[in-house]
Structure 1
């Protein structure tokens, strides 16, 4: 049965790849169907902040482990072994702990000059053009280049890494190119990373891959396939997160000129603006989990083995958690958004994503007198996944 709200014209049924603004749908579902099973996909959906947060806090019941499904595809096996995003504790804790120090406060302070140089180089390449495509020219290449340097990958291989990132995340803005096969690209990347790991075992350097090669867990070193999976995860997930955060930040500021003016006037407001973007327009607007037992959520029994979509995008607009949630406010405090998830799977790369977004936006605003979004924005999959973002700039 389909529920329809006569006051808004919104129905409960909605495609999972709908790129229209989901805010009216989120409001309807929180109010009338906070826990809902759709007949089309056979999945359960959870919409309210308290319920989403509670589920993310309970990995024993809401499992992230999808290794069996991914391992059925040969090219994905190395990616699966080291991908702690698709693991539950204790395996998740073992692998995540090894790389956590690379994203600490001191590490980010040391990375900031590198990020600034990369952003300025990309803006130098674009300077003089009155119009540019933000995803292609800044938001997409920046995190790939940053991660390549962090991992100790040769700068000469940037074009190769850039190509793999485009194929494996779906952010391929080259309309003239034939779409590549993701499994084939992943296989190529696995081979490349394995060769790099082997060389780092023989001759370690100051980079993150070298530190992982030398790390020990309970007296054991990581296997090569685990290392391939960890590095692949950082390249793919880390790239997409930062790309979308920069693009969504520009869209939010363009849609709220008074807030953009406040940020231009006070660069110290940038961190708060980024947090509000993560709440208001986060790219990871849903997280998938599988129930390990029957569990009751908001009065409804979800059976064991059910696939559950936890709508963080809806939770971030829940009025029970955020006063006036439809207002974009760069000074919002507190801001308990779920833009980077919550609990044991809180995004490991959140400090890096925040750093990259802050530097990219800060340098873009500092080097321009104005930035305006042009018609022709393209999406893929959802309202917050941006494929193309044309902008008009007036350089300072």
Structure 2
């Protein structure tokens, strides 16, 4: 059985039952390395993501071409602790709550454009522009550059073999982002404003300011993680609602349940399908000896469909009581932006269901996916609907 990007779930089920920890010599990682351990069960995935002393996040080759080697997600303590304490100030409950009216305004403006047509492409018309505007506003970068951001984001979640120019093309995208943010950082050093880049430029930890490379890594991470994953969450939630029309109607009558629907959509179609780690020492996992230096893919999408944790895991269940999915990671690397992603998805779904009803896929054919195993990433999602 092969892994299908659009429907990986039968593969997850088979592997969880038969080969929960298995080595794949042919697997090519997005940074060029070959070979990985695939990890499928919930408990094993949680362990790999949570136990940084055995399974390190520092899996990226430390190469000059890749600013991401300085990123929060690819470093462990003590460096990770320093970085996280800095950037967490931008994600306080108050900072996120303050964005609420603005996200509502953007959502309504976007829906005004399609209201009379009775149809839209959720990806293009809603799920892409909302998170990009939010993260651009947070960082303080011009929304006019959104096409660049989207282009870079999609490259960075692909395998190098899928990128034009291969590994060189992959690193080129990072370098272009690096140059872009270097200009932004230089401007803020001279003229700080009230945005995240200015805050990071001025911030100090133990009397030290962040280096340009550290700042660039932050900006790239926030841009990619802050828009691509939330876009996927909105798309995946909407796709799931088209499959469950009775849930659409329930949520429009009971908007308080939208939060539950989002949690179940996060479990049912995880925006991030796996995370990579590297073994820091020889260790046992699922009856297998993992050698120091071995790479591992912890399949979040599989953990969230583990029948031993989630009864009827292949069913979308709005009233599921176990909401302990692992879609935002686990342990010290738990996603810092998760409250913002949840808020954006909640606002978008609430306003959509207030204004429109009877969402259906426009075409009776398989949905178009972006060619990446890293994300459950829908490329086009044309729907029809009626106004309320």
What TM-score comes out, normalization by structure 1 length? 0.87
Distance 1:234 1:151 in 2: 8
Where does residue 28 of structure 1 map in the other structure?
14
Where does residue 117 of structure 1 map in the other structure?
105
Given the alignment of the two structures, is residue 390 of structure 1 paired with residue 376 of structure 2, yes or no? no
Where does residue 218 of structure 1 map in the other structure?
206
Given the alignment of the two structures, is residue 61 of structure 1 paired with residue 61 of structure 2, yes or no? no
Contact 2:248 2:357 in 1 (8 A): no
Where does residue 152 of structure 1 map in the other structure?
140
Distance 1:58 1:178 in 2: 36
The 3 A distance-change label for structure 1 pair 37 and 219 is same
Contact 1:55 1:62 in 2 (8 A): yes
Where does residue 76 of structure 2 map in the other structure?
88
Deviates more, 1:223-232 or 1:151-160: 151-160
Contact 1:104 1:351 in 2 (8 A): no
Secondary structure at the aligned position of 1:353 is classed as: helix
Given the alignment of the two structures, is residue 381 of structure 1 paired with residue 357 of structure 2, yes or no? no
Distance 2:187 2:49 in 1: 38
Distance 1:292 1:159 in 2: 39
Distance 1:136 1:66 in 2: 33
Q: Structure 1 unaligned segments of length 5 or more: list them.
A: 1-10, 171-176
1:276 to 247, 255, 264: 264
2:120 to 117, 128, 132: 132
Where does residue 6 of structure 1 map in the other structure?
none
Given the alignment of the two structures, is residue 46 of structure 1 paired with residue 39 of structure 2, yes or no? yes
Q: CA RMSD in A?
A: 2.3
Aligned length: 371
Per the TM alignment, residue 289 of structure 1 is displaced from its structure 2 partner at its CA by 1.0
1:330 to 311, 318, 321: 318
Distance 2:343 2:17 in 1: 36
Per the TM alignment, residue 161 of structure 1 is displaced from its structure 2 partner at its CA by 3.6
Secondary structure at the aligned position of 1:40 is classed as: strand
Within-5 A mapping of 1:1-396:
11=1, 14-15=2-3, 18-41=4-27, 42-69=35-62, 71-72=63-64, 74=65, 76-77=66-67, 79-81=68-70, 83-169=71-157, 181-375=169-363, 376=365, 377-379=367-369, 380-382=371-373, 384-396=376-388
Contact 1:259 1:329 in 2 (8 A): no
Distance 1:338 1:30 in 2: 16
Q: Structure 2 unaligned segments of length 5 or more: list them.
A: 28-34, 159-163
Where does residue 161 of structure 2 map in the other structure?
none
Per the TM alignment, residue 142 of structure 1 is displaced from its structure 2 partner at its CA by 1.3
Secondary structure at the aligned position of 1:282 is classed as: coil
Contact 2:328 2:334 in 1 (8 A): yes
Distance 2:201 2:297 in 1: 35
Distance 2:152 2:8 in 1: 30
Secondary structure at the aligned position of 1:38 is classed as: strand
Secondary structure at the aligned position of 2:378 is classed as: strand
The 3 A distance-change label for structure 1 pair 270 and 112 is same
Distance 2:199 2:177 in 1: 20
Per the TM alignment, residue 333 of structure 1 is displaced from its structure 2 partner at its CA by 2.0
Deviates more, 1:193-202 or 1:149-158: 149-158
Secondary structure at the aligned position of 1:384 is classed as: coil
| Cα offsets for 1:316-364 (capped at 9, x unmatched) | 1112212222221122223110011111111111111111111111111
Per the TM alignment, residue 25 of structure 1 is displaced from its structure 2 partner at its CA by 1.9
The 3 A distance-change label for structure 1 pair 229 and 39 is closer
Secondary structure at the aligned position of 2:359 is classed as: strand
Contact 1:67 1:87 in 2 (8 A): no
Distance 2:220 2:110 in 1: 24
